[in-house]
Chain A
Amino acid sequence: MKIVVCIKQVPDTKGGVKFNPDGTLDRAAMMTIMNPDDKAGLEAALRLKDQYGAEVTVITMGLPKAEDVLREAMAMGADKGILVTDRVLGGADTWATSQTLAGAIRNLDYDLIITGRQAIDGDTAQVGPQISEHLGIPVISYAQKIEIDGDSVIVERQYDDRYHVLKAKMPCLITALAELNEPRYMTPGGIFDACDAEITVWGRANLVDVEDSNLGLKGSPTQIAKASDKVRKGAGEKVNLDVTESVDYIVGKLKDRHVI
């Protein structure tokens, strides 16, 4: 079985968020990590590899430094890493990104493609389903459990108040939730090997069946009209009182605001 896992290098917004004194986001001070949902997708692929035997290829689109997440993935157990990088691909929205990744994946044999549900920088959850559309294969989003059954995959798909157990013929694309599993750590031997491993680097010329008009900023239907670091509502009052005073304070405010 051949599995392709799409991963993304993202700024760490959890815990590592840093602000400038004026309240804006200090991007330079933030660490980059492998996107958590993608890491869960990679772990799911590695478990299928452990259980059924599989070749796991990780692919990322980004700046040359995104090579770091490919090496991390290989240190966890992925077999091959592909970096798709080219200046003409920059500024892509989800349409152009999914066109790019689909164009790269058309070079590969695959039974299963796994992506994270969404990246923590954009939070769109669009690229996985859009890749599947471009490739003409079924998609199962929000997977919380994945099993293989012959030439099919059986997946528990989460909804708000229920889950569906779905069966799809491979090839198929699955988007994974961070809750799917607890990703394994890199092994010392894995790290050693991953440092020396060869990363395949592809540019525009390697993309199959994709028109220039669908790539990069120019190929992006959505355009940014305005962007700003969010201005949060200011803090109100903060008090440090003893228990009785605290209770009187809260009850007083609830009365003032006509809650009680």
Chain B
Amino acid sequence: MNLEEYKGVYVFAQQVDNVLNSIAFELIGKGKDLADALGTQVTAVLVGSGVKNLADELAEYGADKVIVVDDPELKDYRTEPYAHALASVINKYKPEIFLVGATAIGRDLGPRVSARIHTGLTADCTQLEIGDFPITPVPGKEQKHNQLLMTRPAFGGNTIATIACPDFRPQMATVRPGVMQKRERVAGAKANVEEFNPGFTPDNKYVEILKVVKAVSDTVDIMDAKILVSGGRGVGSAENFKLLDNLAEVLGATVSCSRAVVDAGWKPKDLQVGQTGKTVRPNVYFAIGISGAIQHLAGMEESDIIIAINKDESAPIFDVADYGIVGDLNKILPALTEKLKAELAAK
């Protein structure tokens, strides 16, 4: 493998039902930083059926170039044709970096593609930068420059590791949604759009989609919320979430929850914050009756302001809270809601 042949930062522009996922813009945003450091460009790889019209949106968020792989076999996500699409793009265009969102799709697609083209893949990255490997020179070992350094949490968020892929290309990473910043959208921006179809021939690896069942949900995505009022096991019951709903309504906030709440069946999984749920970084995160298991902290500790209410003063949530209140949520929440109502009405 001649590493020098591999140029450019490529990102997988995930779309479902011909709507681009926010992760596509986040990856372009981060990809631009990396491309600037390397003196190269960002290419978005758009895969689907009838998706070419989405290329402009990718350009408006900063993509310099868009490669469109459009084929009826790619209508709904399936591992094999999508893996074939990406592996073919990589073999033809030879990118030095390829980023994929660590979504339920990307975490299936990434490993299959990296195994097919024989390169490394670092999962669930929360930080990406260009640097040297080894980071500090080691006698007798070549220090390579302009490497992608991929940082990720492991051990349920207890440790953090920085990984490099010095001898294989592309350097591949899946990136946690909600962590990287998208760029300001520039209306009317255009990218160089190129169509590429490697041909899709169904074989034993193509699975058949018998049915697509969409969850019905009219709630705001908790990853987009500015203020989250999040409840844990300490809330006590599904009915008692009313207290959180009331507070959220006054603040224009969204209600989310911990894993224990989903396991108890009080709230649906798409409201779950944490390692096996979503990563959130709102301006304000209220942790109500949440003890703060390490897996939960991994999903919310980047929030700007964390306010915790818990009756157990030794709860680990207080270790990350900016403002911790030891007390009974059943008494504090209704009083807080009333007080805020009065304060906001007076403005």
**For residue A224, which residues in chain B have a CB less than 8 angstroms away from its CB?**
161-163
Cβ contacts A174-187/B at 8 Å (1 or 0 each): 00000000000000
User: B200 near A: Cβ within 8 Å?
Assistant: no
* Partner pick for A235 among B16, B112, B159, B321, CB 8 A cutoff: B321
**For residue B210, which residues in chain A have a CB less than 8 angstroms away from its CB?**
154, 165-167
Cβ contacts B237-254/A at 8 Å (1 or 0 each): 000000000000001000
A120 and chain B: residue at smallest CB distance: B156
Q: Cβ of B322 and Cβ of A237 under 8 Å apart?
A: yes
**For residue A32, which residues in chain B have a CB less than 8 angstroms away from its CB?**
none
Known: A221-B167, A246-B325. Contact between A138 and B207, CB under 8 A? yes
Known: A121-B154, A138-B205, A238-B313. Contact between A159 and B340, CB under 8 A? no
User: A14 near B: Cβ within 8 Å?
Assistant: yes
**Alpha-carbon distance between A134 and B309 when the two chains are bound, in angstroms:** 50
**Alpha-carbon distance between A250 and B337 when the two chains are bound, in angstroms:** 11
**Alpha-carbon distance between A123 and B16 when the two chains are bound, in angstroms:** 25
Q: Cβ of A161 and Cβ of B214 under 8 Å apart?
A: yes
Count the B residues whose beta carbon is within 8 Å of the partner chain — how many? 94
* Partner pick for B120 among A132, A222, A244, CB 8 A cutoff: A222
In angstroms, how far is the closest chain A Cβ from the Cβ of B177? Answer: 9
**For residue A220, which residues in chain B have a CB less than 8 angstroms away from its CB?**
120
**Alpha-carbon distance between A3 and B215 when the two chains are bound, in angstroms:** 31
User: A199 near B: Cβ within 8 Å?
Assistant: no
In angstroms, how far is the closest chain A Cβ from the Cβ of B176? Answer: 11
**For residue B163, which residues in chain A have a CB less than 8 angstroms away from its CB?**
222-225
**Alpha-carbon distance between A226 and B150 when the two chains are bound, in angstroms:** 10
**Alpha-carbon distance between A127 and B122 when the two chains are bound, in angstroms:** 12
Q: Cβ of A225 and Cβ of B325 under 8 Å apart?
A: no
Give the most central of B160, B313, B320, B325: most A CB within 10 Å.
B325
Q: Is the interface of A mostly helix, strand, loop or mixed?
A: mixed
Q: Cβ of A159 and Cβ of B105 under 8 Å apart?
A: yes
Cβ contacts A133-173/B at 8 Å (1 or 0 each): 11011111110000000000010001111111111110000
What band does the interface of chain A fall in when counting residues whose beta carbon is under 8 Å from B? 35 or more
**For residue A236, which residues in chain B have a CB less than 8 angstroms away from its CB?**
306, 321-324
**Alpha-carbon distance between A164 and B213 when the two chains are bound, in angstroms:** 6
Q: Cβ of A164 and Cβ of B76 under 8 Å apart?
A: yes
A23 and chain B: residue at smallest CB distance: B319
**Alpha-carbon distance between A168 and B80 when the two chains are bound, in angstroms:** 12
**Alpha-carbon distance between A127 and B162 when the two chains are bound, in angstroms:** 19
**Alpha-carbon distance between A32 and B221 when the two chains are bound, in angstroms:** 36
Closest 6 CB pairs of A and B: A221-B120, A222-B120, A13-B156, A236-B322, A238-B324, A133-B115
Interface, chain B (partner A; CB < 8 A): 16, 76-80, 83, 103-105, 107-108, 110-112, 114-116, 118-124, 133-135, 149, 153-168, 204-215, 217, 227, 251, 270, 275, 283-284, 293-295, 297, 301, 305-307, 309, 313, 318-328, 331-332, 335-336, 339-340, 343-344, 347
Not counting A126-B107, A130-B112, A167-B210, a sample of 13 additional A-B residue pairs whose C-beta atoms are within 8 angstroms of each other reads A11-B155, A13-B295, A17-B156, A94-B111, A139-B108, A163-B212, A166-B209, A225-B134, A227-B162, A239-B325, A243-B335, A246-B335, A251-B339
**11 A-B residue pairs with CB within 8 Å:** A127-B111, A139-B112, A159-B104, A160-B104, A165-B213, A222-B121, A222-B122, A224-B162, A232-B301, A235-B320, A259-B283
